[in-house]
Amino acid sequence: MKILVTVKRVEDPEIKIKINAAGDGIETDQMKYVVNPFDEIAVEEALRLRDAAGGEVVVASIGVEDTTHQIRTALAMGGDRGVHVVSEQALDPWAAATVMKKIAEDEKPDVIIMGKQAVDDDMGQMGGLLAAMLDWGLASFVSKEASLESEDEKNKLTGLKHEDGRLEVIREVDGGLETMAVKLPAVLTTELRLNVPRYASLPGIMKAKKKEIKKIAIAEMLDGDATRVKVTKLDPPAQRQAGVIVEDVAALVDKLRNEAKVL
């Protein structure tokens, strides 16, 4: 089975984000970048599926030259080779899905696995757009029922069941879980509860340095600027006002009634 898994280079969620002076982007000086956490889960599940069914895992990403570091991270986890579409311009989900569609047509994978959303913009549109463009089935928010196996088993097994040219998956829906089967080829988007991504071992990091990463210029994939969504302005969230300490319950009730108007 050939599995194509996507990774996106995003700002480290642990770092405080500051808006730049122009108000149309963020400060990038000394910014640390990591693999999108949802994509790490996708990589882990792709590796487990490959180990269960055989085949290879191809890691694909779109981004600036330094995105190679995030691809190497996925290769150090166990991915077999990488594809890097080099783009200095940020792409919206439509343009990114258009590029990924061409990669899929070239690689001809049996399944594409990606995170349900990226933590930098939280759009969560890529999976649905890509499945529609390819005319493939889509299983979104793929998760795993906590009671299926022991903790030790859950950390080893894939949550996807491959049989007769289809994948059976458990996905999160409003109010619970849903089991469904999707015919291959298909696109899957992963939820947080699907697995716990492994750490790259030292041997894995050393091997990743020698693994192939095919580089493609964005001009070979898109004709001109295909981005349909442009960010014109960013605003920081409103600051919360400091709380007030009251002397007793009577004073609290008075403020809730006369100032907050909630009583």
Taking residue 16's Cβ as centre, other Cβ atoms within 10 Å add up to: 7
Band (100; pLDDT cuts 50, 70, 90) = very high
CATH classification at residue 67: 3.40.50.620
Band (147; pLDDT cuts 50, 70, 90) = very low
- pLDDT on residue 235: 85
Q: Which domain holds residue 106?
A: 2-235
Band (22; pLDDT cuts 50, 70, 90) = confident
182: nearest Cα among 159, 164, 197, 207: 164
Asked if the structure places residue 246 within a domain, the reply is: no
Asked if the structure places residue 259 within a domain, the reply is: no
> Quick check: 154 pLDDT over 90?
no
Domain count, the chain: 1
CA distances from 116 to 17, 122, 124 (A): 22, 9, 6
Asked if the structure places residue 181 within a domain, the reply is: yes
Asked if the structure places residue 251 within a domain, the reply is: no
Structure tokens given for 177: 């879980």
Mean pLDDT of 8-19: 89
> Quick check: 172 pLDDT over 80?
yes
> Quick check: 33 pLDDT over 80?
yes
Q: What is the pTM of this model?
A: 0.83
CA distance 12 to 238: 22
Strands 111-115 and 176-183: unpaired
Asked if the structure places residue 262 within a domain, the reply is: no
- CA count, 13 A, side-chain hemisphere, 26: 15
Mean pLDDT of 5-24: 89
- pLDDT on residue 234: 87
180: nearest Cα among 166, 165, 194, 190: 166
Band (221; pLDDT cuts 50, 70, 90) = very high
**Percent of the chain topping pLDDT 90:** 54
pLDDT tens track for 224-238? 777 888 888 888 888
Mean pLDDT of 102-107: 96
- pLDDT on residue 148: 47
Which region among 2-16, 87-101, 141-155, 156-170 has the lowest average model confidence (pLDDT)? Answer: 141-155
Mean pLDDT, the chain, integer: 88
CA distance 210 to 214: 12
Strands 186-190 and 33-35: unpaired
Mean pLDDT of 54-82: 95
CA distance 34 to 58: 19
Write the secondary structure of 240-253 as one string of H (helix), E (strand) and C (coil).
CCCCCCCCCHHHHH
Asked if the structure places residue 255 within a domain, the reply is: no
Asked if the structure places residue 257 within a domain, the reply is: no
> Quick check: 149 pLDDT over 80?
no
Asked if the structure places residue 210 within a domain, the reply is: yes
